């Protein structure tokens, strides 16, 4: 009998964010059990609502956005994105250099499919947002992980990056602000990365989807703004800052010097037209959304939900013997460290599974983010403080007696 296996192209694609822990969570939910989800960066289920003006814009445009748009996106949306790039000093972006996508996710995959040949290498952070590693691999490339250093506020380790550049390296991915660590990189680190890209003629891939979710008076510096003489592909979108992850609204901009990348740009155009266009109603709200950055800011200051929830979680972790965490400066994630000797932990996925089964609370283990040691996990602090309190009390209780067999 003929059977159908998955494509061998997927054999090495590692997207551990699913796996036994998620399977168990699905089983528990199907059995009617309530679980607290600290595992996914999806604001809406936690009571976050997009600004009315943004939603109204899309509703009002529904009848005029029934057709396909230009494959790069509506002109009005791309114009607003160009203005946004200008506000962030991202150089040399015209409407022709902007591609809207069904979330940044679609464009991350497209950017790798359009560039890589088998065996090409791309430098990707560890820990990473795992779509990057998966996209490099699916495109036939090799993701070479560079270390982000917890001792140095999770900043990229420049010496480690240097040591991993080879003649096969085509680009370097910088996720800033970072998922899963919540780090925000300072100018000097970004400048050193740009310098390496300059020296080795690499493309910069700047995933900046959390750039509007920065706390404590810090400023996000767009990587492209430091590299007008290089090609930077910048990724952004409204899933997080405007709390509309479900609308699938993202974009990618080619910035800086494109003169040496004519072939690559052709490849991206081809892939962009093959998917016809991204969700047009969602594109139509981009100008209104980018004109309204105030509602996001309210979440990030004292009294704002994201700010208060971050502080709560960081304090709660500090109160649990055997856990520690670098206080995140941005986004809504943190990546606590576990004293693995104390708990005899050798398998972080088992740890997440044990906690889920006993306490009905779901988080993602560090290996899901290509972190090699079993000593970290990610908390998404989107639930309200009351729910976070339940979760963190449960964690304290669990950690008081946990020993991995």
Give the interface with ligand PLP as residue ranges (CB under 6 A).
Answer: 41, 103-105, 129, 175, 179, 207, 209, 237, 239, 245, 250
**CA-wise closest residue to 98 among 75, 65, 119, 117:** 75
Q: 69 vs 236, which CB is nearer to ligand PLP?
A: 236
Could you tell me if 325 and 337 are in contact, meaning their C-beta atoms sit under 8 angstroms apart?
A: yes
Q: 238 vs 345, which CB is nearer to ligand PLP?
A: 238
CB of 276 to ligand PLP, least distance (A): 18
What are the backbone angles phi and psi of residue 310, rounded to the nearest 5°?
Answer: -60, -50
Query: Which class for 311: exposed (0-12), middle (13-18), buried (19 or more C-beta within 10 A)?
Result: middle
Q: Where are the alpha helices (DSSP H) in 95-175?
A: 103-113, 131-138, 158-164
CB of 394 to ligand PLP, least distance (A): 25
CB of 132 to ligand PLP, least distance (A): 8
Q: 61 vs 176, which CB is nearer to ligand PLP?
A: 176
CB of 32 to ligand PLP, least distance (A): 28
> Quick one: which H or E segment has residue 289?
helix 286-291
The C-alpha atoms of residue 20 and residue 338 are separated, in whole angstroms, by: 21
Q: 129 vs 343, which CB is nearer to ligand PLP?
A: 129
CB of 341 to ligand PLP, least distance (A): 31
Shortest Cβ contact with ligand PLP: which residue?
A: 103
> Quick one: which H or E segment has residue 147?
strand 142-149
The C-alpha atoms of residue 341 and residue 353 are separated, in whole angstroms, by: 19
Q: Give the Cβ contact number of residue 366 at 10 Å.
A: 26
CB of 247 to ligand PLP, least distance (A): 9
Q: 292 vs 320, which CB is nearer to ligand PLP?
A: 292
The C-alpha atoms of residue 363 and residue 304 are separated, in whole angstroms, by: 23
CB of 168 to ligand PLP, least distance (A): 24
Q: Kindly provide the b/e burial profile for residues 262-278, where b requires at least 16 CB atoms within 10 angstroms of the residue's own CB.
A: eebeebbeebbeeeebb
CB of 402 to ligand PLP, least distance (A): 28
DSSP designation for 326: P
Q: 377 vs 402, which CB is nearer to ligand PLP?
A: 377
Query: Which class for 393: exposed (0-12), middle (13-18), buried (19 or more C-beta within 10 A)?
Result: middle
Q: 250 vs 374, which CB is nearer to ligand PLP?
A: 250
> Quick one: which H or E segment has residue 345?
none
The C-alpha atoms of residue 370 and residue 288 are separated, in whole angstroms, by: 37
The C-alpha atoms of residue 183 and residue 193 are separated, in whole angstroms, by: 16
Q: 106 vs 402, which CB is nearer to ligand PLP?
A: 106
Q: 237 vs 328, which CB is nearer to ligand PLP?
A: 237
CB of 22 to ligand PLP, least distance (A): 15
Q: 43 vs 320, which CB is nearer to ligand PLP?
A: 43
Q: Give the Cβ contact number of residue 43 at 10 Å.
A: 24
CB of 208 to ligand PLP, least distance (A): 9
């Amino acid at each position: 009998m003929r059977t159908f296996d998955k494509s061998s192209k997927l054999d090495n694609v590692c997207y551990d964010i699913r796996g036994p822990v998620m399977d168990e969570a699905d089983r528990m939910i199907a059995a009617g059990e309530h679980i607290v989800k600290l595992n996914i960066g999806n604001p809406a289920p936690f009571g976050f609502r997009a600004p009315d003006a943004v939603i109204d814009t899309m509703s009002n445009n529904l009848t005029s956005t029934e057709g396909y748009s230009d494959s790069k996106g509506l002109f009005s949306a791309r114009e607003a994105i160009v203005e946004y790039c200008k506000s962030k000093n991202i150089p040399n972006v015209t409407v022709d250099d902007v591609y809207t996508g069904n979330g940044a996710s679609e464009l991350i995959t497209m950017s790798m499919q359009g560039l890589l040949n088998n065996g090409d290498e791309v430098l990707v952070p560890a820990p990473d947002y795992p779509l990057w590693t998966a996209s490099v691999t699916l495109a036939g490339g090799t993701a070479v992980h560079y270390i982000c250093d917890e001792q140095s506020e999770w900043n990229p380790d420049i010496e480690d990056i240097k040591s991993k550049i080879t003649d096969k390296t085509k680009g370097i991915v910088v996720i800033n602000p970072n998922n899963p660590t919540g780090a925000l990189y300072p100018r000097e680190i970004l400048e050193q990365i740009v310098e390496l890209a300059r020296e080795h003629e690499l493309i910069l891939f700047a995933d900046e989807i959390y750039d509007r979710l920065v706390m404590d008076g810090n400023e996000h510096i767009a990587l492209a703004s430091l590299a007008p003489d290089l090609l930077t592909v910048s990724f952004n979108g409204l899933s997080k800052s405007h709390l509309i992850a479900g609308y699938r609204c993202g974009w990618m901009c080619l910035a800086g010097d494109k003169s040496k990348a004519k072939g690559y740009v052709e490849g991206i155009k081809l892939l962009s037209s093959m998917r016809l266009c991204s969700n047009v109603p969602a594109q139509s709200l981009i100008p209104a959304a980018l004109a309204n950055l105030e509602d996001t800011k309210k979440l990030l200051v004292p009294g704002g939900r994201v700010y208060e929830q971050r502080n709560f979680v960081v304090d709660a972790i500090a109160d649990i013997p055997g856990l520690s965490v670098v206080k995140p400066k941005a986004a809504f994630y943190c990546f606590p460290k576990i004293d693995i000797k104390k708990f005899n932990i050798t398998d972080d996925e088992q740890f997440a599974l044990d906690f889920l089964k006993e306490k009905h609370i779901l988080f993602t283990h560090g290996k899901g983010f290509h972190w090699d040691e079993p000593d970290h996990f990610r908390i998404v602090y989107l639930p309200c403080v009351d729910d976070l309190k339940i979760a963190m009390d449960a964690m304290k209780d669990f950690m008081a007696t946990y020993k991995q067999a």
